[in-house]
């Protein structure tokens, strides 16, 4: 896994996952153009997350049984077709359908991540996976800025046409760059899907990590979805391009969180996860007092992004150490749970905003962070994972099959 290939995986994965978030800063803009309510527009983010979770569940496990050199570019071409359908959607109903299909097919990043884990050495797997995952997270953050700027200049449909062209370009690049690899297992499709559940059922460490991952991503999407409503309303009343620029603030978090993979390699994964959850709680407390302060919002964004992205990288790298022969299937469980949490978070943002505004969103996020911190502390006392000095992990005896 050379530096160049790692960088290509990170950029391609970030480009792919960005497709899920083009609409997020444009919800009010799209709603006005298609004559949809704020609540209905908010569902654009939710159904994308649902589609993505379904794609992770149904398609990502195929990474363990198919030739990924063909499969990954093929999925990128499918997402390009879905992007064109989004750009041409004549109504909010048609856009909801097209964007759900986009979520379903935008799984390339989650196929590239376990592939990077397979190609990396044991001594630097955390760093390589951390770099690729950071690329995905940077894609999420920059997507809001790019989307806002292009929408201001050429309308919201233009971003989907541009993204379709980029997806085709990366499909061609990856087809040439991914080395040929034999499938890691040979299982019928129903048995392949069932084996995902088997890994979850057998490994207590996996269940614990999946809960923390889903909760982290749920709070993340809840914050960013509600932030669009906050910055669109008084006293801010920002344009979509300015709202999109707030995504750049989170880049500091993504770049700092990239070092989380190195913490795993050094055997510090578990304590670093606890510090990450403490920072999530603090970020929502800061946000609660910043409903009229752009500076306060910026501080909350930086804290939240450093924490959530660091926790995400640590969770994913620990999972890959549990069962190396089933990394795509473990990633299936991880991503599916994360984006179910993300869909719940996006839907909750709309409901909480209607019920109590920014204060309700912030207090809910802080409360969820406290619950997750308690779960981490109880699991930490187990411990669920025994960390070696070289940063690799073993399931605890209690969590091993049988």
Contact 131, 10 (CB under 8 A): yes
Query: Is the model more confident about 402 or about 379?
Result: 379
Sign, CA torsion 69/75/79/81 = positive
Q: What is the dihedral of CA 111, 112, 118, 124, to 10 degrees?
A: -140
pLDDT of residue 258: 66
Cα–Cα distance, 106 to 15 (Å, whole number): 10
Cα–Cα distance, 368 to 219 (Å, whole number): 7
pLDDT of residue 319: 81
Contact 316, 129 (CB under 8 A): yes
Query: What stretches of 276-340 adopt beta strand conformation (E)?
Result: none
Q: Name the residue with tokens 């009010």.
A: 28
Helix pair 3-18, 156-177: axis angle to 10 deg: 150
196-232 burial code (b ≥16 CB/10 A, e <16): beebbebbbbbbbbbbbbbbbbbbbbbbbbbbbbbbb
% of the chain with per-residue pLDDT over 70:
92
Q: Tell me the pLDDT of the chain averaged across its residues.
A: 84
pLDDT digits (tens, 9 = 90+) for 302-326: 999 889 888 888 888 788 777 777 7
pLDDT of residue 398: 35
Query: Is the model more confident about 286 or about 31?
Result: 286
Query: Mean pLDDT throughout 246-266?
Result: 71
Name the nearest CA neighbour of 321 among 184, 118, 178, 135: 118
Q: How far is CA 26 from CA 45, 165, 229, 250, 384, in A?
A: 10, 20, 10, 18, 42
Phi, psi at 393, each rounded to 5°:
-135, 150
% of the chain with per-residue pLDDT over 90:
36
Q: Which structure tokens are listed for 201? A: 């059922």
Query: Is the model more confident about 148 or about 371?
Result: 371
HSE of 92 in the Cβ direction (CA atoms, 13 Å)? 19
Query: Mean pLDDT throughout 12-39?
Result: 86
Q: How many CB atoms lie within 10 A of CB 258?
A: 22
Sequence spans of domains, the chain? 3-399
| Residue 215: band (very low, low, confident or very high) from pLDDT cuts 50, 70, 90 | very high
Cα–Cα distance, 200 to 198 (Å, whole number): 5
Query: Mean pLDDT throughout 330-343?
Result: 83
Q: Which structure tokens are listed for 134? A: 């950071």
CA 222 to chain centre: 13
Query: Mean pLDDT throughout 77-84?
Result: 96
- Among 20-24, 261-265, 356-360, whose mean pLDDT is lowest? 261-265
pLDDT of residue 180: 82
Q: Name the residue with tokens 């960013």.
A: 224
Contact 321, 331 (CB under 8 A): no
pLDDT of residue 396: 41
pLDDT of residue 8: 94
Query: Mean pLDDT throughout 240-261?
Result: 73
Peptide bond before residue 351 is cis, with ω within 30 degrees of 0: no
Contact 132, 9 (CB under 8 A): yes
Query: Is the model more confident about 331 or about 92?
Result: 92
Contact 100, 48 (CB under 8 A): yes
Contact 240, 131 (CB under 8 A): no
Phi, psi at 355, each rounded to 5°:
-80, -40
Q: How far is CA 227 from CA 179, 230, 291, in A?
A: 41, 5, 10
- Among 27-36, 77-86, 151-160, 370-379, whose mean pLDDT is lowest? 27-36
| Residue 395: band (very low, low, confident or very high) from pLDDT cuts 50, 70, 90 | very low
Q: How far is CA 370 from CA 168, 170, 305, in A?
A: 43, 40, 17
pLDDT of residue 381: 63
| Residue 35: band (very low, low, confident or very high) from pLDDT cuts 50, 70, 90 | confident
pLDDT exceeds cutoff 70 at 248: yes
- Please name the residues in contact with 152: beta carbons below 8 A apart, sequence gap of 6 or more: 239, 240, 241
pLDDT digits (tens, 9 = 90+) for 42-73: 788 888 888 888 888 889 888 888 888 899 99
Cα–Cα distance, 275 to 221 (Å, whole number): 20
| Residue 359: band (very low, low, confident or very high) from pLDDT cuts 50, 70, 90 | very high
Cα–Cα distance, 6 to 132 (Å, whole number): 7
Q: How many CB atoms lie within 10 A of CB 388?
A: 11
Architecture of domain 3-399: Up-down Bundle (1.20)
pLDDT exceeds cutoff 50 at 399: no
| Residue 126: band (very low, low, confident or very high) from pLDDT cuts 50, 70, 90 | confident
Query: Mean pLDDT throughout 247-258?
Result: 70
Give strand pairing partners of 393.
387
């Amino acid at each position: 896994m050379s530096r160049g290939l790692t960088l290509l995986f990170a950029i391609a994965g970030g480009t792919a996952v960005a497709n899920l978030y083009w609409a997020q800063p444009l919800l009010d803009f799209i709603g006005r153009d298609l004559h949809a309510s704020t609540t209905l527009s908010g569902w654009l983010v939710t159904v994308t997350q649902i589609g993505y979770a379904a794609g992770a569940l149904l398609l990502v496990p195929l990474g363990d049984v198919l030739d990924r050199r063909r499969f990954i570019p093929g999925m990128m071409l499918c997402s390009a077709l879905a992007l064109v359908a989004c750009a041409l959607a004549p109504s909010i109903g048609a856009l909801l359908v097209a964007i759900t299909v986009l979520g379903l097919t935008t799984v390339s990043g989650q196929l590239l991540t376990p592939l990077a884990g397979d190609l990396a050495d044991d001594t630097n797997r955390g760093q390589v996976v951390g770099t690729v995952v950071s690329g995905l997270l940077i894609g999420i953050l920059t997507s809001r800025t790019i989307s806002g700027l292009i929408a201001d200049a050429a309308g919201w449909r233009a971003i989907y046409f541009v993204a379709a062209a980029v997806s085709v370009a990366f499909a061609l690049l990856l087809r040439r760059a991914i080395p040929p690899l034999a499938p890691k297992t040979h299982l019928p499709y129903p048995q392949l899907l069932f084996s995902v559940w088997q890994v979850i059922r057998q490994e207590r460490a996996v269940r614990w990590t999946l809960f923390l991952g889903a909760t982290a991503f749920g709070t993340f999407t809840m914050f960013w979805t509600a932030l669009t409503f906050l910055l669109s309303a008084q006293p801010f009343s920002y344009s979509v391009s300015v709202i999109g620029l707030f995504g750049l603030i989170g880049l500091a978090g993504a770049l700092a969180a990239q070092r989380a993979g190195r913490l795993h390699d050094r055997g510090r994964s578990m304590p670093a996860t606890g510090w990450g959850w403490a920072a999530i709680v603090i970020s929502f407390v800061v946000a609660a007092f910043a409903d009229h302060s752009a500076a306060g919002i910026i501080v909350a964004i930086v804290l939240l992004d450093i924490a959530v992205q660091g926790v995400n990288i640590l969770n994913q790298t620990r999972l890959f150490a549990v069962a190396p022969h089933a990394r795509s299937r473990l990633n299936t469980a991880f991503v599916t749970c994360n984006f179910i949490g993300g869909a719940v978070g996006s839907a909750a943002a709309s409901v909480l905003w209607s019920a109590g505004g920014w204060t309700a969103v912030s207090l809910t996020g802080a409360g969820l962070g406290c619950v997750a911190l308690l779960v981490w502390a109880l699991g930490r006392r187990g411990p669920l994972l025994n960390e070696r000095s070289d940063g690799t992990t073993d399931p605890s005896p209690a969590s091993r099959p049988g």
